Amino acid sequence: MLYHATPYRDVPDEPPRSASERIRIGYGGHINYRLLDGWLDAVLQQPDMELHMIGKEEKQYMRRWAGRTRMILHTNLSDGEFLDTLRAMDVLIMPYNTEIPEVAIMTTNSKTFQYMAAGRPMVISNMPHYIDLPTGAIYRAVSEQDFVAKIRQAYAEDCAELVRLRLAIARQNTWDHRGDMLRSIIESDLGASLVRTGQHLST
């Protein structure tokens, strides 16, 4: 399985802790039907939390959230601005609806290692085939109440050691590393094939 990778050649150093009085919850990606509305609403019901939606929104979907003062929308960001905004959060989320077939089979997506590159903990819905990452890097929730509890747990457990773990995961999962892995597999298979035919692989 070839997972998505960190799109940044240079992963930034540790981000500063947010100075916000509220826990800043960030979602990065397409803002549309795949999200669990009830889970987002559960976050907005917490007086000590604010929800930042970072990415391209589907306007029809966003109408239901009109007037929610603790939901902040960030759109039309460059790659650098996107990462900076993720780094300004406390906890990053992916509350996808696992009853949608495309979500149920998801193993990773383009934002996974961008989240890791931001150094922030990641709370997701319990997608059955999603990539396994170490505790402290990723937290899985099974219900609205558990989602809020996992966000609080991720926030409380966050520390410099776990930030460094997430950044290390991002640095170990760049597209350059994916390319090296593919080259190694191709050369290994090709080399074995040439050996069987009495030929040699030149590098």
Residue 144 half-sphere exposure toward CB, CA atoms < 13 A: 12
**pLDDT score of 196:** 58
Alpha-carbon distances of 198 from 138, 191, 192, 203, rounded to whole Å: 48, 10, 10, 17
The tokens for 40 are 């987002």
**Residues of the chain where predicted confidence (pLDDT) is lower than 50:** 203
Task: State residue 176's pLDDT score.
Answer: 59
Quick check: 63 and 169 in contact, CB under 8 A? no
pLDDT value at position 155? 96
Q: What is the pLDDT of residue 3?
A: 55
Cβ-contact 110, 50 below 8 angstroms: no
CA distances from 110 to 3, 6, 20, 44, 159 (A): 9, 8, 28, 26, 25
**How confident is the model at residue 147, as a pLDDT?**
98
> For the whole model, what pTM was predicted?
0.81
**CATH (residue range 23-171):** 3.40.50.2000
Q: Which two tokens stand for residue 200?
A: 């040699």
Instruction: Characterize 120-154 residue by residue with b for buried, 16 or more Cβ atoms within 10 angstroms of its Cβ, and e for exposed.
Output: bbbbbbebeebbebeebbbbebeebebbbebbbbb
pLDDT for the residue 174: 63
* Domain limits, the chain: 23-171, 175-203
pLDDT attached to residue 183: 63
